[in-house]
Amino acid sequence: MAMPSENVNNMNNQDPNNNGIWAKIMEIKVGVLPLPLYIFIAAAVFLAAYFNELPSDMIGGFAVIMVIGMLLGDIGLKTPILKDIGGPTILSLLLPSIAVFLGWFNAPAIDAVDTLMSTSNFLYAYIAVLVVGSILGMSRVVLLQGFARMFIPLVAGTLSAVAVGLIVGSLFGYELYHTFFFIIVPIISGGIGEGILPLSISYATMIDQPSTELLAQLVPAAIIGNIVAIICAGMMKKLGEKRPDLNGNGVLVRAKGANDIFTEKQKEAPVDFRLMGAGVLVASTFFIFGGVLEGWVGISGAVLMIILAALVKVLNIMPAQMELGSHQLYKFVSSSFTWPLMVGLGIMFIPLESVAAVFSVSYVIICASVVLAMVGSGFFVGKLMNMYPIEAAIVTGCHSGLGGTGDVAILSASNRMGLMPFAQISTRLGGAATVIGATLLMRFFLG
């Protein structure tokens, strides 16, 4: 039977604004999820936890930290000012810690996160993937030549930061041991995932304190240092605009053609999921082998993992396909799980009272002095080494940032994203050397 013509007309003449409004709502994203879908997922997880139906295993743990991490990371990336000072990291670490302190998480939610982070050891898996994948994924030529180019400014900056930090810490009555190992080293360790987490594991093997408790003492210094480094980068940009003779406009070395190798873009290979699977095995093996060697050489397995990965990269003995798989896995994990992992750390390992206990005006001043010394040293040493002082200061300052995200924030503040290869050298190799050196020094001092 034919449909009445007026009904057909009514269907054809439905208000297009209804579809338009829904399409606009779907364009609003929380992370990568459309807002309505995010609300549905978040409500499902919340209700499961509220009615004690949330699985206290990896599935429940991932659900909790992913829902919260996506939201807080997104807010941190979009909030003015906050987005320029490491907002996603700050919010993802501190707000869950505050929520736990206020009792906003019930037992099923905390149990699920605890199972994921501690029992299932997602924390260590994240560390292994980031450390191994980031090192194996670097260009070997850039790694060697960039390190050779940055070695003197990086060493000078590190020594200056340590000296100034110790002096300022002493003026405020801090013990040299505490200032060095718990304030200076975290700032220059290369970020949280690739620096502070392995550092806390190393410290825990030498002092009678679990690594989870040490995190609350190490993280605040790194966050403050990152904020100061970003501010310094902005100030360097302003100085470069007023003093063109000091400004390379994103070029580090004054010699013509000396920067060409670092401006060449590497071709992005298509994502290969089988190689990423092999990357899981490669990262796991480095971590396990580091643990085996720990019993023989007396150095933390997490630190030995860094040394082994760097050694394998320099000797060029890892098949290129395995390096590619490890690096693609690193990119996947770092882009998908960093903010959720920070949420897990905030819930389980960073009690608010412990963080509040270390904060003071003198503490902030010490942190700021470390970064200022690092940046100032890079400026003057770079000038002596035929580098543009502005760029040398900014790249050296990346050594005091929050890892890769810190590098992006610092270089964005200075409008010099082209310096990323040098920043990665400063952060990754400088951070790895700091973790290794601090571990050896602590072992020496503690006998």
Q: How many residues does the chain have?
A: 447
Asked if residue 305 lies in contact with residue 248, where contact means CB atoms within 8 angstroms, the answer is no
Q: Are the C-beta atoms of residues 225 and 400 closer than 8 Å to each other?
A: yes
> Which residue type does 115 have?
T
Q: Which residues pair with 253 in a beta bridge?
A: 387
Q: State residue 185's pLDDT score.
A: 93
Q: Helix or strand or coil: residue 207? A: coil
* pLDDT tens digits for range 86-137: 678 778 888 998 999 899 999 999 999 999 988 888 878 887 888 788 888 8
Is there a contact between 70 and 38 (Cβ–Cβ < 8 Å)?
yes
User: What's the pLDDT score for residue 11?
Assistant: 47
Q: What is the pTM of this model?
A: 0.72
Give the start-end residues of each E strand in 24-178. Answer: 29-30, 33-34
Rounded Cα gap, residues 402 and 227, in angstroms: 9
Say how many CA atoms lie within 13 Å of 222 toward its Cβ.
33
The pLDDT assigned to 404 comes to 67
The DSSP letter of residue 399 is: G
Cα–Cα distance measured from residue 400 to residue 432, given in angstroms and rounded to the nearest whole number: 12
Distance CA 116, CA 135 (A): 26
Q: Collect the ranges in the chain with pLDDT lower than 50.
A: 1-3, 8, 11
User: Over the range 144-163, which residues count as b (16 or more CB within 10 Å of their CB) and which as e?
Assistant: ebbbebbeebbebbbebbbe
3-state secondary structure of 249: coil
Q: Are 165 and 359 in contact (CB under 8 A)?
A: no
Q: Which residues pair with 34 in a beta bridge?
A: 29
Q: Find residue 30's DSSP bridge partners.
A: 33
